[in-house]
Structure 1
Amino acid sequence: MDALVVVVALVVAIATYLTWLALRLDRLAARVADARGGLVTQLVARADAADALATRCALPELADSVRRARAAHPALLAGGPLDGGVELAENLLSRSLRSGEVAAAGQLFPTELHAVDSEAARVALARQFHNDAVRDLRALAGRRLIRLLHLVGRRPSPTYFEIDDALPVRGDLPGLAS
């Protein structure tokens, strides 16, 4: 009788642990999805702010970078992957936003430049949140027991989103509080 109690307790403990692991995987997957949604929202907002600056200041190179970045946004908003093509377009936009032409235009339109810089900072934060969530999910999903028991299921492994999101260094602009 005592052996049966021990076996039942052991089975219950193992089942509880496996259930906890599966729920943790689900929570981390939801966190990745939420972080991805936030990142996409911030990428769209940055492109909108950059477009406003490009239109207001007649900056054709920035407008072209915005157009390329925006071309990927409908697919991203529909749940498409954050792949190399998106990274390339967003990198071009990031580099355009750090150009001297944009900084010079910002001297004339500091409010628009501040909006662009604020959105760029939000993109950097959103990307960090996304990549942290991906790292946590991949670390848990990579454990031997989870792989052995296929607790991840058929869910594809999430990917990191790596873009050049270094913020531009701006001097003191008139009309802006630092």
Structure 2
Amino acid sequence: MPRMWWVVGVVVLAAIFSAYLGWTAQRVERLHTRARSAERALDAHLLRRAAAAAVVAEQSETVELYAAARLALDAEPGERESAENDLTRQLQTISLDPADPAVRTLAVTSRRVVLARQVHTDLVRDALNARRRVFVRLFRLARRYPRPYYFDIVEPSLPDMPAIPVPTPAPPAEGVLPAQAV
């Protein structure tokens, strides 16, 4: 009878360990999928920023800015970081009119690049941390996923741009209860 408890204990421990491995494998997969999605979103925002910069360059007839925007739009994956850094440096050297709608679009897209880069960096860090765990390395749980890489660019900020106001919702009509109170 005492041997029976050992067998039951070993089976229970094996079940717990396999559940933990399954959970870890799902987490590794989820983190890599999210990092890939964040990379695609960052790429889309960078393309929008480069396109908006090209429009501003055409309007202001700034040849250097237009060239940097075209290089950022046409850059190969290995050259993308340096092209985006050149575009950021060009954007920081020119004076922009905040009343111009194209400049406002550029400012909005630049802010979105900052947010997308932050999300991408956080997810890559989490995926790389998951890859470093002992059981992930031991059982090679991350072998199916390409290693995510940081996208290292200069913080894309524009000089002397006032904050774009966010529209506030209109107050409810008199006699109408707000949705939260219902």
Place the TM-score, normalised by the shorter chain, in its bin: 0.7 to 0.9
Determine the structure 2 residue equivalent to 1:78. Answer: none
CA contact (8 A) 2:68 2:83 kept: yes
Whole-Å separation in 2 of the counterparts to 1:53 and 1:124? 19
Whole-Å separation in 2 of the counterparts to 1:47 and 1:10? 55
TM-fit CA distance, 1:50: 0.6
Percent identity among equivalent residues?
34
Determine the structure 2 residue equivalent to 1:148. Answer: 138
Q: Which residue, 97, 100, 112 being the options, matches 2:102?
A: 112
- Secondary structure in 2 matching 1:55: helix
**Deviation per residue, 1:24-68 (Å, 9 max, x gap):** 000001110110111011001101111111111111011000111
Q: Which has the larger radius of gyration?
A: 2
- Secondary structure in 2 matching 1:107: coil
Determine the structure 1 residue equivalent to 2:157. Answer: 167
Do structure 1's residue 88 and structure 2's residue 91 form an aligned pair? no
One-letter amino acid matched to 2:70: R
TM-fit CA distance, 1:171: 5.5
CA contact (8 A) 2:56 2:102 kept: yes
Can you give the 5+ residue segments of structure 1 that lack an aligned partner in the other structure?
76-80
Do structure 1's residue 10 and structure 2's residue 26 form an aligned pair? no
Determine the structure 2 residue equivalent to 1:98. Answer: 92
CA contact (8 A) 1:47 1:69 kept: yes
Pair 1:12–1:42, CA change in 2 (3 A): same
Q: TM-score, normalised by structure 1?
A: 0.84
Pair 1:168–1:2, CA change in 2 (3 A): same
Q: TM-score, normalised by structure 2?
A: 0.82
Aligned residues: 163
Pair 1:172–1:131, CA change in 2 (3 A): closer
Can you give the 5+ residue segments of structure 2 that lack an aligned partner in the other structure?
167-182
TM-fit CA distance, 1:153: 1.3
CA contact (8 A) 1:120 1:165 kept: no
Do structure 1's residue 53 and structure 2's residue 56 form an aligned pair? yes
